[in-house]
């Protein structure tokens, strides 16, 4: 075991992918000489050279399009978009090209492209750089959506994502980069199709993903002190959703709280809630509860940002309201 940060686990994944396959290359703003806006790619330019670690102009539509073209040409590009809000500048490339080319070509052309981007609030970056738009992208057929919340997933999701013949969007929560813990020296690929029960419980299921997993686990710790046993499910893959694991947990606990940093209306939490009701309605002892971000532009002030985003106390309160 080694002690590493989430950032270092991501760098290990990049290093491993670049070593495994000469077709793999990384491209994006400041990924080379600067070492990445969040220092994830620090040192990779010196190790692999400018052909495989490519700094791009400030043009998301341009370099995401170049990544799509490279994937069509047989390469395995990893495209880094600095933050999720900048992905909106490449929305046409992602939604109308990467996601649809397999269908539009009659099954002739796959797009084996991985797009990494930082998501989430909690770092006082204001309304323009604090979005959680993963739920938007889960609406789109043709792409896989991943949200690594642990060191193991940060290390293990990239290679199987590159092996996927279809485009994959990988959302890294910005507040996790400095998170530190132990990671097995032989840590490798993880299952991209299955959600994971991070903590077993019997009284209520808390469903979450990404940066909100630590909030869910913190709530479970607090509830345990009150004698309430909470099971925590980490979605990991947001599209496709592992509905079976979610429903199986709810059938055991009979109550569910969905924690989602996205806005409530039309959110991923709404989809998860709907699936629970559709497939486990008669096992529920209370309505499904949701804890989401306030539907406002994200405040800059720290105390207001904390009020706007889901906190441990909000999840605990939601569980209490279910009568657990």
The answer for residues whose C-beta is within 8 angstroms of residue 17's C-beta and 6 or more apart is 24, 76, 78, 158, 159, 162
Tell me if residue 129 is catalytic. Answer: yes
The tokens for 132 are 């959680």
Tally the domains of the chain. 2
Long-range residue pairs from 15-20, CB within 8 A, at least 24 positions apart, any chain: 15/44, 15/47, 16/158, 16/159, 17/76, 17/78, 17/158, 17/159, 17/162, 18/44, 18/47, 18/48, 18/52, 18/53, 20/159
pLDDT value of residue 324: 79
Q: How many beta carbons lie within 10 A of that of residue 320, not counting itself?
A: 14
Q: What is the percent of the chain with per-residue pLDDT over 90, rounded to a whole number?
A: 99
The answer for residues whose C-beta is within 8 angstroms of residue 91's C-beta and 6 or more apart is none
Is residue 138 domain-shared with residue 167, that is, in the same domain?
A: yes
Q: How many beta carbons lie within 10 A of that of residue 193, not counting itself?
A: 12
Final residue of a domain: which of 123, 150, 183?
Answer: 183
pLDDT one-digit tens code per residue, 253-298? 999 999 999 999 999 999 999 999 999 999 999 999 999 999 999 9
Tell me if residue 278 is catalytic. Answer: no
- Residue 190, in any domain of the structure: no
The answer for residues whose C-beta is within 8 angstroms of residue 245's C-beta and 6 or more apart is 194, 195, 196, 197, 233
The answer for residues whose C-beta is within 8 angstroms of residue 49's C-beta and 6 or more apart is none
H/E stretch holding 279 reads helix 268-280
- Residue 299, in any domain of the structure: yes
The mean pLDDT value for 173-183 works out to: 97
Is residue 179 domain-shared with residue 211, that is, in the same domain?
A: no
pLDDT value of residue 218: 98
- Residue 141, in any domain of the structure: yes
Mean pLDDT over all residues of the chain?
A: 97
- Residue 61, in any domain of the structure: yes
Final residue of a domain: which of 183, 210, 239?
Answer: 183
The whole domain housing 212 covers: 196-321
Is residue 257 domain-shared with residue 175, that is, in the same domain?
A: no
Q: Specify the 3-state DSSP secondary structure of 4.
A: strand
Final residue of a domain: which of 141, 157, 183?
Answer: 183
Q: Is 33 exposed, middle or buried (0-12, 13-18, 19+ CB in 10 A)?
A: exposed
The answer for residues whose C-beta is within 8 angstroms of residue 124's C-beta and 6 or more apart is 300, 301, 302, 305
pLDDT value of residue 204: 98
- Residue 188, in any domain of the structure: no
Check pLDDT > 90 for residue 314: yes
Is residue 69 domain-shared with residue 101, that is, in the same domain?
A: yes
- Residue 191, in any domain of the structure: no
- Residue 222, in any domain of the structure: yes
pLDDT value of residue 3: 97
pLDDT value of residue 24: 98
Is residue 126 domain-shared with residue 241, that is, in the same domain?
A: no
Q: How many beta carbons lie within 10 A of that of residue 23, not counting itself?
A: 15
Q: Active-site residue among 29, 129, 172, 173? A: 129
Is residue 133 domain-shared with residue 269, that is, in the same domain?
A: no
Is residue 179 domain-shared with residue 241, that is, in the same domain?
A: no
Is residue 237 domain-shared with residue 149, that is, in the same domain?
A: no
Q: Active-site residue among 8, 29, 60, 305? A: 60
Going by C-alpha positions, the residue among 197, 188, 178 that lies closest to residue 153 is 188
pLDDT one-digit tens code per residue, 207-236? 999 999 999 999 999 999 999 999 999 999
pLDDT one-digit tens code per residue, 234-248? 999 999 999 999 999
- Residue 152, in any domain of the structure: yes
pLDDT one-digit tens code per residue, 17-68? 999 999 999 999 999 999 999 999 999 999 999 999 999 999 999 999 999 9
pLDDT one-digit tens code per residue, 108-123? 999 999 999 999 999 9
Going by C-alpha positions, the residue among 211, 98, 115 that lies closest to residue 161 is 115
Is-contact 85 131, C-beta < 8 A?
yes
Is residue 149 domain-shared with residue 200, that is, in the same domain?
A: no
Going by C-alpha positions, the residue among 317, 304, 312, 314 that lies closest to residue 124 is 304
């Amino acid at each position: 075991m080694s002690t590493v940060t989430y950032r270092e686990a991501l760098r290990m994944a990049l290093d491993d992918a670049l070593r495994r396959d000469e077709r793999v290359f990384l491209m994006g703003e400041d990924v080379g000489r600067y070492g990445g806006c969040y220092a994830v790619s620090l040192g990779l330019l010196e190790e692999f050279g400018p052909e495989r670690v490519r700094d791009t102009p400030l043009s998301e539509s341009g370099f995401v399009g170049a990544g799509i073209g490279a994937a069509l040409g047989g390469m395995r590009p990893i495209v880094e978009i600095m933050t999720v809000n900048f992905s909106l500048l490449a929305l046409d490339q992602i939604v109308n090209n990467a996601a649809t080319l397999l269908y539009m070509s009659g099954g002739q052309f796959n797009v084996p492209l991985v797009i990494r981007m930082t998501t989430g609030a909690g770092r006082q970056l204001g309304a323009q750089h604090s979005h959680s738009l993963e739920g938007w992208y889960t609406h789109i057929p043709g792409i896989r959506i991943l949200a690594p919340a642990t060191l193991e997933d940060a290390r293990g999701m990239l290679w199987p994502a590159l092996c996927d013949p279809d485009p994959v969007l990988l959302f890294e929560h910005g507040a996790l980069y400095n998170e530190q813990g132990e990671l097995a020296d032989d840590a490798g690929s993880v299952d991209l199709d299955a959600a994971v029960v991070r903590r077993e419980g019997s009284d209520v299921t808390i469903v979450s993903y990404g940066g909100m997993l630590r909030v869910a686990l913190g709530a479970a710790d607090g509830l345990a002190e009150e004698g309430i046993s909470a099971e925590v499910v980490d979605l990991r893959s947001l599209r496709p959703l592992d509905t079976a694991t979610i429903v199986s947990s709810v059938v055991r606990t009979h109550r569910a709280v969905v924690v989602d940093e996205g806005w409530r209306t039309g959110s991923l939490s709404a989809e998860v809630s709907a699936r629970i009701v559709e497939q486990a309605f008669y096992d529920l002892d209370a309505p499904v509860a949701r804890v989401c971000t306030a539907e406002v532009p994200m405040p800059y002030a720290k105390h207001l940002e904390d009020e706007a985003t889901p906190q441990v106390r909000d999840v605990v309160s939601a569980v209490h309201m279910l009568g657990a």
